[in-house]
């Protein structure tokens, strides 16, 4: 039996946010099934057309702390 994990990534902490160009560095978490532990990741999110986003891994050390919110 194959079970697909359909848990979505939730924003936990915004590390950096810029308006021009629009980009956001976010720490996210995902609670999986009862048998798996919570997963964490830091990603760069760039909005595309409509509800679509481009998500790629990011290094939070590269972004200045004064932009944290």
Cβ atoms within 10 Å of 8's Cβ, excluding its own? 7
Q: Give rounded-to-5 percent helix, strand, coil for the chain.
A: 10, 45, 45
Query: Which stretch of DSSP H or E encloses residue 33?
Result: none
Q: What pLDDT, on the 0 to 100 scale, is given for residue 60?
A: 67
For the whole prediction, is pTM greater than 0.75? no
Q: What pLDDT, on the 0 to 100 scale, is given for residue 63?
A: 64
Q: What pLDDT, on the 0 to 100 scale, is given for residue 40?
A: 87
Q: Is 29 helix (H, G, I), strand (E, B) or coil?
A: strand
Q: Is residue 49 reached through a cis peptide bond, with omega within 30 degrees of 0 on the bond before it?
A: no
User: Which of 10-14, 16-20, 47-51 comes out lowest in average pLDDT?
Assistant: 16-20
């Amino acid at each position: 039996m194959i079970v697909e994990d359909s848990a979505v990534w939730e924003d936990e902490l915004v590390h950096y946010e810029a308006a021009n160009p629009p980009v956001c560095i976010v720490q996210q978490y995902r609670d999986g099934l009862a048998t798996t532990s919570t997963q964490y990741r830091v990603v760069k999110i760039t909005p595309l057309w409509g509800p679509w986003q481009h998500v790629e891994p990011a290094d939070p050390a590269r972004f200045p702390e004064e932009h944290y919110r």
